[in-house]
Structure 1
Amino acid sequence: RYVLDGEAAAAPLGATVTIRLASQAKHPEVQVPLGAVLDDGEKTGVWVLDSVTSTVQFQPVRLVRVTSETAVISGLNSGDPIVSLGAHLLQDGARVRTASESGGN
């Protein structure tokens, strides 16, 4: 149940109205492989791939939940390409190859 204010408050009783609710979450929650998350005790994040330059940039994230194989994080947009293994070996600007470029290895 919602209470309308402003001009919408003048809507006749029984009228159909469309409302849009703003999300309280600044960042959606995304499930990623646990190996994609770097947590070195000082910062937690993932490496996001720039597909144009084939380089990675560190993206800080917040851990929401962790299971034995995955982590649910916030601070990353769904669909952003990330490095799923070897996060501890990378640094900002490192060049990487995708599995398809390296023959699946």
Structure 2
Amino acid sequence: MIKLSTILAGTAVAMFAQFAAAQAPMTQTQSAAVPANDPAYIDQSRLNYKEDPYVKARIARGQANAEYRAERQGARTEYKEEVGAARAERREAVRDANATRASEIRNEPMK
């Protein structure tokens, strides 16, 4: 029982310490001023990004994707127009066939 109470007391103290640390105001440290043109602080990857082969490949892939999408959209538009025209033509053929059949039925002598 003594061991259990010692463990519980230690746990309570640890929790209190964590809670107190979380409630303490954070002190802000002053950030060091970055010199304007100091080469040690200039991000070289941003300056030379056009020479990076991965960036070149990404730009080329983006352009190829854009061209593909534009070409695909044009083909889809053309296909939809062709399908629409074919459907309209088929509807007209069905209407003509129905009208012809109806007139034949009307003109047919009764048996």
Asked whether the two chains share a fold, i.e. TM above 0.5, the reply is no
Whose relative contact order is higher, 1 or 2, with alpha carbons under 8 Å and at least 6 apart? Answer: 1
TM-score w.r.t. length of structure 1 = 0.19
